[in-house]
């Protein structure tokens, strides 16, 4: 038997993984979910974060595979640990709702925070709410306002209304002498 090995540079590896993900995206858009999962999984098993994220989404949505929140969390976590911002956000969402993973407010808040720090608007909104409620983090209206203003700047739909609610809440606390 003859073994053939290919030597791939880092630049070529990134290109190959990107091409594989592109094939998966194309299959997904065409509704060929089994094919999409095949392409994403091949690249994901090689450690490519975007592919890991897409495998997780397929498990989350039950497309091309049976819906499995535990598997979605597993793949989101792999991508999140590689600083893939959308995976960090989705992992936090799963932790927030206890889907496929036990609820853990501090870890959930930390993952939302990492994603928000990278500019993910829904994460910014959620971080604002966590600070306002003191859930998973120490309550801070200053932090809440700062994050909701950032989410609003990113044109997150619910941000303006939530900012108004926060300002109203702070004014009411000030009137009551609690601010």
Give residue 178's pLDDT band: very low, low, confident or very high (50, 70, 90): confident
Contacts of 44 (CB under 8 A, 6+ apart): 51, 52, 54, 55, 75, 78
Distances (CA, A) of 100 to 19, 131, 136, 160: 30, 25, 19, 32
Bigger pLDDT: 77 vs 12: 77
User: How high is the pLDDT of residue 30?
Assistant: 95
User: How high is the pLDDT of residue 12?
Assistant: 57
User: How high is the pLDDT of residue 14?
Assistant: 66
User: How high is the pLDDT of residue 15?
Assistant: 67
Q: What is the pLDDT of residues 153-166, one digit of tens each?
A: 999 999 999 999 99
User: How high is the pLDDT of residue 7?
Assistant: 43
The gap from C-alpha 82 to its chain's centroid, in whole angstroms, comes to 12
User: How high is the pLDDT of residue 18?
Assistant: 75
Whether the pLDDT of residue 149 is over 50: the answer is yes
d(CA 31, CA 60): 16
Q: What is the pLDDT of residues 1-44, one digit of tens each?
A: 555 444 444 555 566 677 888 999 999 999 999 999 999 999 99
User: How high is the pLDDT of residue 44?
Assistant: 95
User: How high is the pLDDT of residue 52?
Assistant: 98
pTM: 0.87
Q: What is the pLDDT of residues 85-143, one digit of tens each?
A: 999 999 999 999 999 999 999 999 999 999 999 999 999 999 999 999 999 999 999 99
User: How high is the pLDDT of residue 8?
Assistant: 47
């Amino acid at each position: 038997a003859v073994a053939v090995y290919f030597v791939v540079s880092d630049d070529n590896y990134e290109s190959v993984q990107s091409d594989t993900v592109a094939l998966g995206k194309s299959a997904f858009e065409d509704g060929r979910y089994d094919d999409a999962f095949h392409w994403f999984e091949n690249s994901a098993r090689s450690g490519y974060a975007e592919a890991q994220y897409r495998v997780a989404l397929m498990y989350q949505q039950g497309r091309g595979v049976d819906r499995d929140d535990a598997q979605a969390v597993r793949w989101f976590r792999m991508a999140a640990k590689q600083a893939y911002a959308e995976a960090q956000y989705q992992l936090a969402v799963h932790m927030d709702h206890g889907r496929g993973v036990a609820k853990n407010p501090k870890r959930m808040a930390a993952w939302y925070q990492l994603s928000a720090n990278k500019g993910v608007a829904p994460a910014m909104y959620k971080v604002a709410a966590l600070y306002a409620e003191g859930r998973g983090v120490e309550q801070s209206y200053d932090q809440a306002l700062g994050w909701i203003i950032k989410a609003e700047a990113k044109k997150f739909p619910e941000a303006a209304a939530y900012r108004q609610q926060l300002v109203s809440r702070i004014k009411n606390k000030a009137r009551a002498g609690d601010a």
